[in-house]
A = this chain, B = another copy of it.
Amino acid sequence: MAHAPTARAEAIERLIHPRSIAIVGASADLSKINGRPLKHLLDKGYAGRILPVNPKYPQIAGLACVPDIASLPEAADLAIVAVPASEVLASLDALGRRGVRAAVVFSSGFGETGADGLALEQALAACAARHGMVLCGPNCLGFVNAFDKVYATFSQYADGPTGPGPIAFVTQSGAFGTAIAALARQRGLGLGYFINTGNQADLDFSELMGSVVGDPRIRVAAGYLEGLEDGPALIRLARRCHQLGKPLVLTKVGRMASGQRAAASHTGALAVADAVFDAVIRQHGVLRARNEEQMLDMLQALSQERRPAGFGLGIATQSGGAGVMMADRAEEVGLDVPELAPATQARLAGVMPAFGSAGNPVDVTGQFVARPELLRESVVALLDDPGIHLGIVWLQLMTAHVDTLVRIFCEIRDRTTKPFFVCWVAAPAAALAQLQAEGIVVFSAGERAVEAAAALARHAAFARAQARRGPLVPRQLALPALRGRVHDGVQPSVPATEWLRAAGVPVASVALARDADQAVALWRAAGAPVALKIESADITHKTEVGGVILNLDDEAAVRAAYDLLWQRARQARPQAVLDGVLVQAMASGDVELVVGAQRDPVFGMVVMVGLGGVLVEVLKDVAFRHAPFDVDEAHAMLRELRLGALLDGVRGRPGVDRGALARLLSDLSHWVAAMQPWLAELDLNPVLVGANGPLAVDCVMVFRHQPAGLPAPDRPRPT
């Protein structure tokens, strides 16, 4: 952007917390899009000045109305622009000249309509930048700052009560976002901020969320995404949320092939491979919700302030079957449902009726209606167990006992510091209202309560792990001196492998033979069987031209192989410049992996690992991480592989050294991150893992220099 960060931050501050609001194109019909903000501002008691602009009226709703922007009595902190698309650019320019530094543009007819609209949208952004103005939209429903009663929106969400609460919700979709906000209201979840980004001509999701998440009244950040262009900005937002101790929950549509097709036609946003998106945001502590219901479930769990110290879930029910269902789901989503300690079991046996069960889940049975202390004492005993970190109490209906039960749940809350949720199926409305008023989280279905509990546990575990591991410091690597010396394209194998070895990545050493005599000499020097491989910057995949011959261990064979490789390459690629033939000692391993790195268009450098061979293709059993990352994160990557058990040895094969493999991945991640301006693609395939640890036996390294590059803060640049 053209102006200094502080000026931009100040403009954003004016946008979100305006002391005055101009409404350009304000209508006297308060039910219309261009009338609704005025209605809400008046009805809900906005305390600042409201400045309608419209040549048709001298006043609207008792407020003085000026005929044009130039006539505004002051440079309003915020302008709402609700005029036809063709008039928006002129309005922004006039606002800029009048000294306005923040605008929300409702108008549609821009990038979402095609190339012409996109050009017009880019003109808006340029105009705003010229004036040092920040822009929300166009094609957006605007936003609500519920704390200050700022209703710069025509969303239906504002039609109902919008009392402030601990959640900041930012949505790329207007219609879906409005629905989510309305559902949050139904659940008694208060939105401190509701912001629709629209086309993101200037302010995008990450910057808007970043501008409100620091508010101390906000405890949870929630976002709905349809596309993402600036991955590093989202990562910075995730880091900031972590530093603030505030969870960030994201729902992003476009997970599957068909969905991505629809997303592309709908938003035009850059399609990012969903597996990469998913891995990278989880790496940075973001909780992903698969849909709007799961998002709201998570928000309920995260809005309360207690955090579990582990993954042990205690379940108490009045139905054994519901307990089984929840225990099943807990196992699927990574929670434990541990056996209880003997002391807890004894305590429960003293409380429970004979036909209940004192295991976990605890079946309290319906008897607690007659003896409410039975429910209270058994749940408190359960939560007191040292292996239990959070609890869920399941019950249903009980219309005649709402007051008693709410009182019991309050008593339980006061007798424990551990988080616990109520899951009340087919609950009477009074029960929901009373529990919400008491700040007790209540769900309507058992599996959903468990999923939300798992999200809460994952959030707390991420925070603990980060505290233990400390912030990741990118390494100051001695990078190869490349400037002016290398070209884009496939890099020669000898220096490529040397660079990686210097960075600590175990890659088999290779030597280049320029004739058969040299090849023989290198075989003798190896003192072991060798592989020969054709070497050419014009041949990326050597096997495609028959360019690899394995297991050569006598002079005649080495000579013959040298000649054969040369002939095959000449025949298959007559235009290729051949550099010679690589000679490399044969290696073996118990497990074969593939490791790679790619400059992702959204996130920058991403490292991949998978189980090698035919299974990678069939199972797509791979894990991704954003580079750089530490050894703990690399271990987590390996744990994600469905075939990861192969690493531990099956059918008598020895297990491999996971630690060495994790170090390889982490070391590689630091190197590729530092090399990001040069490196486009790196394939280590296969990486053989045996008794002596992993060894990459083939390496394809492709450069595509990008001097401006993607934003890559904190990274050392190669010289």
Contacts and interface: CB of A to CB of B under 8 A. Distances in A.
A291 interface: yes
Among the interface residues A267, A327, A355, A643, which one has the most CB atoms of the partner chain B within 10 A? A327
A445 to B, nearest CB: 5
B328 A258 contact: yes
B263 A324 contact: yes
Interface stretch (A168-176, A279-287, A504-512, A626-634): A168-176
A262 interface: yes
A257 interface: yes
Contacts of A445: 291-293
B113 A366 contact: no
B259 A226 contact: no
A528 interface: no
Nearest to A642: B619
Given A258-B327, A399-B156, A643-B619, A425 B266 contact: no
A300 to B, nearest CB: 16
A87 interface: no
Nearest to A181: B426
A546 B615 CA distance: 30
Contact of A359 (B260, B265, B651): B265
A328 B183 contact: no
A396 B176 contact: yes
Contacts of A398: 156
A287 to B, nearest CB: 17
Given A256-B332, A266-B357, A331-B259, A618 B321 contact: no
Among the interface residues A179, A265, A293, which one has the most CB atoms of the partner chain B within 10 A? A179
A329 B262 CA distance: 12
B320 A179 contact: no
A355 B255 contact: no
A391 to B, nearest CB: 15
A517 interface: no
A328 B396 contact: no
Nearest to A290: B447
Nearest to A321: B173
A323 interface: yes
Contacts of A502: none
A315 to B, nearest CB: 8
Interface in A153-203: 156, 159, 172-176, 178-179, 182-183, 186
A448 B354 CA distance: 40
Given A321-B224, A325-B253, A425 B179 contact: yes
A159 B257 CA distance: 48
Contacts of A355: 108-109, 112-113
Contacts of A643: 615, 618-619
A357 B265 contact: yes
Contact of A319 (B176, B618, B646): B176
Interface in A618-646: 618-619, 642-643, 645-646
Contacts of A617: 645, 650-651
A312 interface: no
A266 B359 CA distance: 10
Contacts of A319: 173-176, 179
Nearest to A618: B645
As for how many copies of this chain the complex holds, the number is 2
B447 A172 contact: no
A680 interface: no
Contacts of A618: 643, 645-646, 650
Interface in A582-640: 614-615, 617-619
Among the interface residues A266, A361, A615, A651, which one has the most CB atoms of the partner chain B within 10 A? A266
A262 B324 contact: yes
B320 A267 contact: yes
A666 interface: no
A337 interface: yes
Contacts of A332: 256
Contacts of A266: 320-321, 323-324, 357, 363
Contact of A182 (B254, B396, B650): B396
A394 to B, nearest CB: 9
A324 B182 contact: no
Among the interface residues A156, A267, A321, A650, which one has the most CB atoms of the partner chain B within 10 A? A321
Contacts of A651: 614, 617
Interface string A553-568: 0000000000000000
Contact of A255 (B179, B291, B328, B396): B328
A399 B157 CA distance: 11
Contacts of A173: 319-322
Contacts of A159: 399
Contacts of A330: 258
Contacts of A425: 176, 179, 182-183, 292
A123 interface: no
A669 interface: no
Interface in A430-484: 445-448
Contacts of A320: 173, 226, 262-263, 265-267
A703 to B, nearest CB: 29
Interface in A302-342: 318-325, 327-332, 337
Contacts of A396: 156, 175-176, 178-179, 182
B426 A179 contact: yes
A494 interface: no
Given A113-B354, A175-B396, A253-B328, 8 more contacts: A175-B366, A176-B425, A178-B397, A262-B337, A263-B324, A266-B324, A614-B651, A618-B646
